[in-house]
Each structure stands twice: as C-alpha cells, then as structure tokens.
C-alpha cells in the first residue's frame, strides 16, 4: 500500500461571520481522511455539508479552525494549517492544483495564455508551454478560433474546458476538482475522465466533487460521505469513537450509491 500524501486529522471548520456580530457557523468537526498518490477520493453528501469548504481549506483559501491537514513528502511533512501566507504561492505553483467550477476571467488574456500560465510560472519554455496548452485545448474540443480570445464571452462549458486545461497542464501531485464536469456534454465529460485516469497513472492524488453519478463511479477509488451529524453530539471531550468517524469511506469496488 502506498503511504498517504494528504491526511486530515480531526479537522474542524467554523466560519466566523464578522458582518453579523461575529456569529460562529460551524461546518465541519473531527474529519479524518487519507489520500494516497494515484488515487481519487470523491467527496459526497448533501448540498451545504462542506465539500467545497474542505477543498478550499486544502487549497489555502479557507483557514483551518482545528485539527491537522498535512502533506507528506519523502523528505518530511508540511502542516498546512500552520503554513505562513507567503508559502501558499509556491505550494500552489508546484504541489496543489485546483480546478474550480468557474473560471476566473482576466480581461485581454487569451484562453491559450490562461492555460499556459501555470507552466510559465514554473519557468517552462514558452514554446513548450504553448504546445502543451494547445494540445489540451484541442483534446477538450475547444474550437481553435477561440484560443486567441479572452474567455470572458465564452459559454459556461467553454470556460470550464479552459479551466480544466489550466488545472491539468502543470501535472501537480495533488489535484482538487470541484465539479469539473458540471457544464460539459457527454463527449467532453469523457475527455475529463480520461485526463483523470492519466493523472492517476502518473501518481497524482485527487480530491474531487462530482455530482454526475456516472463520472463519480468511474473515477472514484473511494467515496467519503460527509454527514450532517458531524456537527452534533457535544464537545471534543465527550465525543465518542463513532463521532470521530462520522463520515463513511467506501473502497473502490463497493457500491458507491
């Protein structure tokens, strides 16, 4: 068995709503997870349960309120909950890739440049970055006439494909996928499934949210079911063993329904 690349131990998240008198909104309590290289762990659970929040904590967009979120490298560990702000830039450049549901559009930056950017940020040669970006855009069936244009006017599905190409191009060892197939037709969903399978084969660890059942069943090695009762049942001191595992992990091969 491969040793895990990402682990969460007793992870808590409480939002503090400063605009509403500092009201606390607890979302997650005592979450444990473990994700190995070459595996895809899919998050499930009802709307609002905290799936995107978990991805955003791993990506450093949201602060961890309690517990540990740790990356394990051959030469040591990196505790994400204690990482200084300036370190996130390097981590996102080299280690953590994030395909969000919506593309962040920058005026006058072409689709091709949006996709090339993660490679250029690492010092990759421009012609190589350009060739790899074009190959991905072509695989994702984005018409060539759009490559030169800024994606602001693209359809939802076209923007999502630019976002997917940008997310996969740099081959980060950890990839966070927030509904990457939500606006795609069947042919392009198939391309994304293939990209995920290729990423697994090169050892990428993936944490994803997929509402499309068929895609989920094809890509998930394990399912992590977040459940509302994570937030019920008292304090840390009186939490029972079952509260600690108030999420369900299903191994690949078992039914995911």
Q: Which residues bind ligand ATP (CB under 6 A)?
A: 15, 25, 27, 47-53
Numbers of helices and strands, H then E, in the chain: 8, 10
CB of 6 to ligand ATP, least distance (A): 18
Task: Give the residue among 231, 235, 192 at the shortest CA–CA distance from 215.
Answer: 192
**Which C-beta is closer to ligand ATP: that of 15 or that of 250?**
15
**Which C-beta is closer to ligand ATP: that of 49 or that of 215?**
49
CA distance 135 to 207: 25
**Which C-beta is closer to ligand ATP: that of 43 or that of 164?**
43
Q: Are 193 and 219 in contact (CB under 8 A)?
A: yes
CB of 28 to ligand ATP, least distance (A): 8
Structure tokens at 57: 């904590």
Task: Give the residue among 104, 107, 100, 136 at the shortest CA–CA distance from 119.
Answer: 136
**Which C-beta is closer to ligand ATP: that of 15 or that of 88?**
15
CB of 49 to ligand ATP, least distance (A): 4
CB of 67 to ligand ATP, least distance (A): 16
CA distance 112 to 125: 15
């Amino acid at each position: 068995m491969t040793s895990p690349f990402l682990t969460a131990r007793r992870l808590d998240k409480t939002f503090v709503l400063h605009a509403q008198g500092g009201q606390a909104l607890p979302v997650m309590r005592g979450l444990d997870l473990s994700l190995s290289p070459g595996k895809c762990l899919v998050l499930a659970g009802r709307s609002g349960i905290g799936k995107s929040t978990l991805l955003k904590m791993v990506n450093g967009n949201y602060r961890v309120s309690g517990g540990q979120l740790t990356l394990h490298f051959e030469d040591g560990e990196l505790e994400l909950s204690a990482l200084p702000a300036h370190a996130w830039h390097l981590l996102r450049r080299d280690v953590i890739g994030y395909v969000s549901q919506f593309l962040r559009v920058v005026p006058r930056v072409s689709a091709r440049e949006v996709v090339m950017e993660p490679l250029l940020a690492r010092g990759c040669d421009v012609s190589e970055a350009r060739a790899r970006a074009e190959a991905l855009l072509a695989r994702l069936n984005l018409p060539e006439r759009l490559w030169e244009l800024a994606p602001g006017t693209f359809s939802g599905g076209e923007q999502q494909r630019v976002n997917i190409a940008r997310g996969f191009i740099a081959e980060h060892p950890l990839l966070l996928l927030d509904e990457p197939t939500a606006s795609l037709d069947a042919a392009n969903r198939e391309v994304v499934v293939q990209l995920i399978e290729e990423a697994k084969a090169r050892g990428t660890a993936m944490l994803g949210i997929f509402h499309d059942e068929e895609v989920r069943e094809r890509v998930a090695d394990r399912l992590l079911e977040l459940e509302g009762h994570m937030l019920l049942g008292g304090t840390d001191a009186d939490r029972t063993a079952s509260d600690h595992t108030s999420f369900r992990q299903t191994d690949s091969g078992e039914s995911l329904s």
